[in-house]
Amino acid sequence: MTGAASGIGAAIVERFRAEGAWVAGLDLSPAMSSDCDLVGDLRSAAFIDSAMAALSQRQAMPDILVHAAAISAHGGVLDIEPERYAEIYAVNVLAAVRLMRHCVPAMKAQGGGAVLLMSSINADFATPTQAAYAASKAALNSLTKTAALEFAPAGIRVNAIAPASIDTPLMRAGLESRSDAEQAIAANMQRHPIARFGTAQEVADLSLFLVSERAAWITGAIYALDGGASVTRR
C-alpha cells in the first residue's frame, strides 16, 4: 500500500485492517496505522527494490497491491519544467510499474491477486492548472487496462478509482491558502452535482470492494468516484 501515511491512503489502510488484512505501508513518512512501515521515496527504484526485498524476507509479499501515492505540480504544459514532469511520472506511474514487477510474479505463484491504482477525474479532461498530473493519471488509466488484459489469465485483476475532490488535509490546505478561500471552497463543491466533497472513507470503501472476492468479475475498470462531476464538467 503506497501513500499510506495520510489522506486517502491512510483511510484505505484503516479500512483494510478493520477487515483483518495485514498491511505494509510505503510512504515518505511512517504510516502510523499500518502493520509494517517502509519509509522512503517512491521516485527511487532502489527504495522500491529494498522495500519489496524486506517483505519477501518476511514471507509477506502481497496478494493485494494498492498504489495511492501521487505528487503534482501547479501549472500548464509549458509552465512545468520537464524535470518535474519526470518526477511526477516516477511516483504516479513508474512506481506502479516497479511495484507490479515485484508483486505480480508473487501473485501468480499464489494463484491470483488484485491490483488497485488511484487515478483521477483529471485524466479525462483538459486540466491547464495540473497538466503534468493529469497526463500522468491518463497514463495510469492506460496502464490499468493493459495490465488487466495481460494478467487476467493468471487470476490477477487490475482496476483503478478516479476520484474528484476528496476532502483530505492536503486538498483543504491548498484551497485555504488562497486569498479567496471561502469562495474557492464553495466553487469547488459546486462542480459536483452532489454538492459536497467526497471523503477518504468513501474511497476506502470502494477500494475494499474492488480488491475483494465480491468484485471477482471486475477487471480493467476505472471507477469514477466524483459526486457526478464527470457527468457534467463544471
Domain boundaries, the chain: 7-225
Q: Which of 35, 27, 36 is nearest to 5 (CA)?
A: 27
What are the tens digits of pLDDT across the range 178-220? 778 788 788 778 888 898 899 999 999 999 999 999 999 999 9
- pTM for this one? 0.94
Grid cell, residue 17, equals 485492517
What are the tens digits of pLDDT across the range 148-167? 999 999 999 999 999 998 98
Tell me what pLDDT residue 187 has.
79
Q: Residue 234 — pLDDT band, cuts 50, 70, 90?
A: low
Residues 6+ apart with CB under 8 A from 18: none
What are the tens digits of pLDDT across the range 97-148? 999 999 999 999 999 999 999 999 999 999 898 999 999 999 999 999 999 9
Please determine, for residue 44, whether its predicted confidence score (pLDDT) is greater than 90.
yes
Would you list the DSSP string of 151-181?
HGGGTEEEEEEEE--B--HHHHHHHHTSTTH
Architecture of domain 7-225: 3-Layer(aba) Sandwich (3.40)
Average pLDDT, the chain: 94
Grid cell, residue 141, equals 488509466
For strands 156-163 and 113-118, give the pairing: parallel
